[in-house]
């Protein structure tokens, strides 16, 4: 179980880093945040720039699905 959880945490890091990189490339600095705060910060950016929704929606979905599975293993 620990190995499975570790794998999921490592997989979740990829969409997190993608979102950070995309924001940085657009000149948006998100600051330091964990996965849950990162999603909130990206959603706040999307309120200001809804045209970015098509780019970030799949990454946010992948991140939330991975987070849900990690929480299941935590229980």
Q: Is the pLDDT of residue 35 over 70?
A: no
Question: pTM of the predicted model, to two decimals?
Answer: 0.85
| Containing structural domain, residue 49 | 2-74
Query: Mean pLDDT of all residues in the chain?
Result: 92
Mean pLDDT of 8-23: 94
- By the 10 Å C-beta count (0-12 exposed, 13-18 middle, 19+ buried), 1 is classed as exposed
Range from 5-9, 29-33, 45-49 carrying the lowest mean pLDDT: 29-33
Domain count, the chain: 1
Burial 13-30 (b: 16+ CB within 10 A, else e): eebbebbbebbeeeebeb
CA distance from start to end of the chain: 11
């Amino acid at each position: 179980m620990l190995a499975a959880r570790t794998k999921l945490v490592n997989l979740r890091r990829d969409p997190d880093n993608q979102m950070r990189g995309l924001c940085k490339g657009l000149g948006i600095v998100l600051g330091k945040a964990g996965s849950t705060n990162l999603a909130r910060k990206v959603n706040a950016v999307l309120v200001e720039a809804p045209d970015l929704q098509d780019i970030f929606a799949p990454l946010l979905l992948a991140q939330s699905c991975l987070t849900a599975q990690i929480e299941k293993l935590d229980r």
